[in-house]
Amino acid sequence: MDKGLFITIEGTDGSGKTTQIKLMESFLKGKGCEVVLTREPGGTVISEKIRALILDPAGTEMGSVTEMLLYASARAQLVAEVIKPAVLCGKIVICDRFVDSSYVYQGFGRGMDLKVIADINRVALDGIAPDVTFFFDVSPEIALKRRTAATGTDRIENEKMDFHMRVYAGYKKLVLMYPERIKAIDGSRSVEEVFKQVAGHLELLVE
């Protein structure tokens, strides 16, 4: 059986990823593709438990190394239990965030060494890499307005604005570093206009 496709979705908090992921799922299903939707951190029973630990607003004393290792642990379990088996049997996996989030949040955001993050995640990824990544480009200011309109924030969202600015700048750097893989989508437009850009890429991928 042919290998499937591994698509990852990235963007700052409040970039509108969730809405677009649902539209992507119905678009691909409409084309007869088998689609598996998942998210990071989470996507398995164990990874969701790790997620609750990482994002708990009460965990203010959590160190950067602990945080980075917990994200990698949740990822290792998701790769082994969900992503790898699905891609190997020909399905399209759409994952809301993946290792690029660790580069931008723990690396550019927290200042951790990108090489250390890459080394740790090499073990977690077990040879898996996204075929294509959609980056929903929304400035941190617009994203903040969208977030505060929603109820409740987690430990990462509670970070100060300069952290979110570094994360955003980190994404921009990744787009320049991996122009083949990462497709930047202007996420500041209406839902329909944003999806039009995504659909253009999806058409080519599933042709």
For the chain, helix (H) and strand (E) counts, in that order, are: 9, 5
Binding to ligand TYD in span 54-93, by CB under 6 A = 55, 71
101 binds ligand TYD (CB under 6 A): yes
Separation of alpha carbons 165 and 105, rounded Å = 10
166 binds ligand TYD (CB under 6 A): no
10 binds ligand TYD (CB under 6 A): no
Question: What type of residue sits at position 54?
Answer: I
Question: What type of residue sits at position 195?
Answer: F
Separation of alpha carbons 147 and 153, rounded Å = 8
171 binds ligand TYD (CB under 6 A): no
For 54, which DSSP code?
Answer: H
**Segment interacting with ligand TYD (CB under 6 A) among 22-30, 97-105, 179-187, 189-197:** 97-105
The dihedral of CA 112, 116, 120, 126: what is its sign?
positive
105 binds ligand TYD (CB under 6 A): yes
Residue closer to ligand TYD by CB (options 71, 134) is: 71
**Segment interacting with ligand TYD (CB under 6 A) among 76-84, 151-159, 169-177, 179-187:** 151-159
Question: In the complex, what is the shortest distance from the CB of residue 43 to ligand TYD, in angstroms, rounded to a whole number?
Answer: 10
| H or E stretch covering 96 | strand 92-96
